[in-house]
Amino acid sequence: MTITPFCISSPPPVSGTIYGVVLNDHHSIARFGTAVDDAPYKGAPKAPAMYLKPANTVVGNGAAITLPADESAVEIGATVGIVIGAPAARLSTDTAMDVVAGYALVADLSLPHSSYYRPAIREKCFDGACPVAEVRPASEIGTLSTIVLTTFIGGQPVAERSLADLVRDVPQLLTDVTEFMTLSVGDMLLVGVEYLAPQAAAGNQVRITAGPLGSLEFSIHTRTEALTS
């Protein structure tokens, strides 16, 4: 019997650390509602609320992703990764774009969970939880605010988001993050996912499109399927 947690049809184009942020779009903040004012934070984030997607999560386009044991669905957070091309520390909005080497379409996968008030390690860091498409040079993409991300599950469109809705656009996000930490060459900073993203079930094929960033495809499987494959 062979166990195959996931198989990669193309290598993931990431050499550094992947950082994510939450609540970086107006739609998510509105959907979060009055809960944003509850303890312990009692208000919307005043700085980027960040987390990591470690190396075990990163897979390439075409991956077959196995969910953790006893899980049968996953949230599909369509987003874009900013690829860092030069050491980045204490940037300003005027200099931030100088360190951007390119962008990649990313699916930030999460097991469904309701709270942002503790580190969601199991929910966001399981094997294969960060499919990454080909990196496209920044010069070919232009301004991210013109890009619309569409998520298809089982061939049907289930969600659409415009990056014009970001609270912090790319220059501002890089400025705020590098105020307190250095980003290294090869790192990737995700611009954020929508709160309560659509869910895909085991057996579903997922596709995300994003105009000039191309498309990203992968499939979702249970551990039982992997054990019997």
CATH code at 6-228: 3.90.850.10
pLDDT tens figures, 48-95? 989 999 999 999 999 999 999 999 999 999 999 999 999 999 999 999
Q: Residue type for 105, please?
A: L
Asked, as a colleague might, if the bond just before 40 is cis with ω within 30 of 0, I would say: yes
Q: On the CB side of 142, how many CA atoms lie within 13 Å of its CA?
A: 8
Between these two residues, 226 and 114, which has the higher pLDDT value?
A: 114
Alpha-carbon distances of 196 from 77, 109, 111, 114, 175, rounded to whole Å: 9, 11, 11, 8, 27
- Edge-to-edge strand list for the sheet holding 64-66: 6-7, 64-66, 215-221, 205-209, 148-153, 156-162
Alpha-carbon distances of 98 from 15, 82, 121, 174, rounded to whole Å: 19, 12, 32, 11
Does residue 163 carry a pLDDT above 70? yes
Is the four-CA dihedral 65, 210, 119, 54 of positive or negative sign? positive
Distance of alpha carbon 220 from alpha carbon 68, whole angstroms: 11
Quote the tokens at residue 33. Answer: 């509602």
Structure letter (DSSP) for residue 183: B
Q: What is the pTM of this model?
A: 0.89
Q: What is the mean pLDDT of residues 138-151?
A: 94
Distance of alpha carbon 217 from alpha carbon 115, whole angstroms: 28
The reported pLDDT for the residue numbered 112 is: 86
**87-96, 106-115, 160-169, 192-201: which range is least confident on average?**
106-115
Distance of alpha carbon 178 from alpha carbon 229, whole angstroms: 45
**43-57, 112-126, 154-168: which range is least confident on average?**
112-126
Question: What does the radius of gyration of the chain's CA atoms come to, in whole angstroms?
Answer: 17
Q: Are 44 and 33 in contact (CB under 8 A)?
A: no
